Chains A and B, each alone.
Chain A
Amino acid sequence: MGEAMLKDRTAIVGIGQTRFAKSLDEPEKTLACRAVLAALDDAGIDPSEVDALASYTMEETDEVELAKSIGAGDITFFSRTGFGGGGSCATVAHLAMAVATGQASVGVAWRSRKRGSGVRPWTNTGVQLPTPAQWTRPFGLLRPADEIAMLARRYMHEYGATRDHLFNVALACRNRANQNPAAVMYERPLTREMYMDARWISEPLCLYDNCLETDGALACVVVGAERARDCRQRPVYVHSVAQGLPAQHHGMVNYWNDDPLTGPAWTAARQLWKTADLGPQDVDTAQIYDAFTPLIPLSLEGYGFCGRGEGAAYTEGGALELGGRLPINTAGGGLSEGYVHGFNLINEGVRQLRGSSTSQVPDAATCLVTAGEGVPTSALLLRN
Chain B
Amino acid sequence: MSVTGTSVTETVNAGGGLVDGLLLPWPDADGEPFWQYALRGELRVQACADCGLRRFPPRPSCPRCHSFADTWQQTSGRGRIWSFVVAHPPLLPAYAAQAPYPVAVVELDDDPAIRMVGTLTPSVRRPDAPWNAVPVSRLRIGTPVQAVYQILTPGVAVPRWALTSP
Interface residue ranges, A against B (CB under 8 Å)? 120, 123, 125, 128-129, 131-143, 146, 149-151, 153-154, 157, 199-205, 248, 250, 253, 255-256, 258, 260
Contact = CB atoms under 8 A, between A and B. Distances in A.
Given A129-B26, A146-B87, A256-B57, A139 B95 contact: no
Contacts of A141: 85, 103, 117
B117 A202 contact: no
B159 interface: yes
- A interface: dominant SS: mixed
A203 B85 contact: yes
A120 B86 CA distance: 20
Contacts of A250: 57
Interface residues of B, number: 43
Contacts of B119: 139-140
Contact of A128 (B26, B95, B141): B26
Given A139-B160, A255-B115, A151 B83 contact: yes
- Most chain A beta carbons < 10 A, residue from B16, B82, B100, B152: B16
A154 B141 contact: yes
A256 B23 contact: no
30 contacts: A128-B16, A128-B17, A129-B16, A131-B28, A131-B31, A134-B31, A135-B31, A135-B56, A135-B57, A137-B23, A138-B22, A138-B158, A139-B118, A139-B119, A139-B158, A140-B117, A141-B103, A149-B85, A151-B83, A153-B84, A153-B141, A200-B88, A201-B90, A202-B85, A202-B88, A205-B85, A255-B105, A256-B113, A258-B113, A260-B115
Contacts, number: 116
Given A153-B83, A154-B141, A256-B56, A129 B88 contact: no
Nearest to A202: B85
A125 B87 contact: no
A139 B16 contact: no
A274 B117 CA distance: 36
B24 interface: yes
A142 B95 CA distance: 9
Contact of A125 (B83, B90, B92, B117): B92
Contacts of B115: 255-256, 260
Interface in B111-155: 113-119, 131, 136, 141, 152
A136 B131 CA distance: 15
Nearest to A247: B63
Contact of B103 (A146, A201, A258, A260): A146
Contact of A140 (B27, B28, B113, B131): B131
A138 B25 contact: yes
Contacts of A151: 83
B160 A202 contact: no
B130 to A, nearest CB: 12
A255 B117 contact: yes
A203 B84 CA distance: 9
Contacts of B90: 120, 201
Given A142-B92, A143-B91, A202-B86, 18 more contacts: A123-B92, A128-B16, A129-B26, A131-B31, A134-B25, A134-B27, A135-B56, A138-B22, A138-B23, A139-B116, A139-B158, A150-B84, A154-B82, A201-B90, A202-B87, A203-B136, A255-B105, A256-B115
Contacts of A153: 83-85, 141
Nearest to A139: B117
Interface in B50-98: 56-57, 63, 82-88, 90-92, 95
A138 B24 contact: yes
B141 A140 contact: no
A314 B82 CA distance: 25
- Most chain A beta carbons < 10 A, residue from B82, B85, B90: B85
A67 B82 CA distance: 49
A250 B90 CA distance: 25
A10 B78 CA distance: 55
